Amino acid sequence: MEAKLPGAATLLCLVDVLHAFAIEEKGDVFKRMACPSFLMFDNAAYLADMTFELPCNCKPEEVSSVVWYFQKDMGSHKTTVLTDFAGTVVVDSGHIRTGSNVLKRFSIRMFSLIVFRAQVTDSGHYLCGTKQGDFFYAYDVDVQPTKDITVAFVDRGQHVQDDYTKKLFSLFTTFWDWTRCDRCGVRGEQRRIGLCYVQSAQLHPRYRTAVPNVTSCGSRAVPARFQHPVHLRTPEVAIRSCLTPCLKEKAPEEGVLSISNVIAKLGEKPWLPRVPVQFHQQAVGSRLIIACPGARPEHAVAWDKDFVRLYRSRYLVGVTKSTRVFIDHGNHLHIQRVRIRDRGTYYCWREGEMVAGFRLSVAREQRRRRVLGDPETIYALKIIGVSYAVISIIFLTTHVGRCCWRVFGGSART
């Protein structure tokens, strides 16, 4: 044990050095960037369910921790404090749910604010400052909805929305790059997410944008008189087919495979994917939502059921009104009103590689065991009791009548 201590001490020292280096490097950034004398709001746009990070790009050197504030509109008296006033809030992203409040979906790391699975209601102003109310940097965040998103399948000749131009403003879509092919070795699909933007010379001057006179459609910089036509334009996504080869697995060197590995491989089924498989049981008629491990809405994600490809051209939400099994824009697989035929193994692809499987077994609804406290049990006991009492009365009446007839009948004949 004593021989291992120097190595452990060296490792701890290395971790401390790296941490100190990260803090020092962050400090150098603050030294290089001076805070603006007049607070401006940087525009940033995202799609619902995405996770975004807002760095506090400037602060005085003597400030060791920051506090993040959220304000729905400029000048609003309702301000939400998003930190514990020590700038140390860290959450486990694996426990985040879509419907959670923003206070349960944020984290602060190295002065930056991270919001997990953003919702449309998270749109607004985010300010970095101190608990005394001094502000250093601010953002104007626009989270655009996916509810009525416009979908264009390029393979079918469908086109994205045309630009909308008026005298004082114009609306258009800014597209991100195409994602990677969501499958390899077989036909896959690519997505391209587009967010709504507006161009006008009448934007609020306090909002800073990457391109002059251009901001996202949900920005607070857009004048109120433009809001109605702006809200009529939705984000969009373009989908097209793709084909990319799979990366070849590196063959093990000679002598590396042990006898136990060889024996294990002999028992494998070569036609089944070699990915971790989770087992899940669902009742008939229930609703099931499956998420691909480690995937985010902006990732290229695909789903298969056994050997059937669940392509978005058929299974994307909104493509058909009667879809019971569908994929939403956050890459989750939904099964509504689970049926017996839904059982099987569902495989998940992430960024062109199959990463996980979910073996679903469907059970019929089992009858619940009755207990004395159940209303049905009490009702049945009452019916049985009443029936028993009626039968007993009839039985006793019959026997008493027969006895009486014998006694009085015999006396009359005598």
In the predicted model, is pLDDT for residue 361 greater than 90?
yes
What's the pLDDT at 270? 57
The 10s digit of each residue's pLDDT in 302-352 is 999 998 999 998 999 888 777 899 999 889 999 999 999 999 999 999 999
Query: How far is it, in rounded angstroms, from Cα 388 to Cα 382?
Result: 10
**Which residue bears the tokens 């087919």?**
241
- Going by pLDDT thresholds of 50, 70 and 90, the confidence category of residue 6 is very low
As a whole number, mean pLDDT of residues 40-47 equals 92
The 10s digit of each residue's pLDDT in 178-195 is 999 999 999 999 999 999
**Joined tokens for residue 292:** 């691909």
**Average per-residue pLDDT for the chain:** 79
Which residues have a Cβ under 8 Å from the Cβ of 2 and sit 6 or more positions away? Answer: none
- Going by pLDDT thresholds of 50, 70 and 90, the confidence category of residue 29 is very low
Of 185, 150, 170, the closest CA to residue 349 belongs to 185
- Going by pLDDT thresholds of 50, 70 and 90, the confidence category of residue 371 is low
- Going by pLDDT thresholds of 50, 70 and 90, the confidence category of residue 7 is very low
Cβ neighbourhood burial of 4 (10 Å; 0-12, 13-18, 19+): exposed
Of 140, 170, 178, the closest CA to residue 52 belongs to 140
In the predicted model, is pLDDT for residue 158 greater than 80?
yes
In the predicted model, is pLDDT for residue 256 greater than 70?
no
Say how many CA atoms lie within 13 Å of 46 toward its Cβ.
Answer: 26
In the predicted model, is pLDDT for residue 92 greater than 50?
no
Query: How far is it, in rounded angstroms, from Cα 358 to Cα 75?
Result: 49
Hey, CA dihedral for 226, 212, 52, 124, is it positive or negative?
A: negative
What's the pLDDT at 118? 87
The 10s digit of each residue's pLDDT in 94-147 is 444 544 455 677 888 778 888 888 889 899 999 988 888 788 899 999 999 988
CATH superfamily of 27-144: Immunoglobulins (2.60.40.10)
- Give the phi and the psi of residue 339 in degrees, each rounded to 5: -120, 170
Query: How far is it, in rounded angstroms, from Cα 140 to Cα 38?
Result: 15
**Which residue bears the tokens 């793709």?**
242
Query: How far is it, in rounded angstroms, from Cα 303 to Cα 356?
Result: 10
Cβ neighbourhood burial of 183 (10 Å; 0-12, 13-18, 19+): buried
- Going by pLDDT thresholds of 50, 70 and 90, the confidence category of residue 10 is very low
Higher-pLDDT residue of 155, 381:
155
What's the pLDDT at 228? 84
Query: How far is it, in rounded angstroms, from Cα 88 to Cα 380?
Result: 61
What's the pLDDT at 382? 83
In the predicted model, is pLDDT for residue 235 greater than 80?
yes
Percent of the chain with pLDDT over 90: 36
Of 331, 328, 313, 303, the closest CA to residue 147 belongs to 328
The 10s digit of each residue's pLDDT in 261-284 is 544 444 455 557 788 999 999 999
As a whole number, mean pLDDT of residues 386-400 equals 88
Which residues have a Cβ under 8 Å from the Cβ of 141 and sit 6 or more positions away? Answer: 44, 45, 46, 52, 54, 118, 122, 123, 124, 125, 126
CATH class of residue range 274-363: mainly beta
Higher-pLDDT residue of 35, 213:
213
As a whole number, mean pLDDT of residues 359-367 equals 79
What's the pLDDT at 49? 85
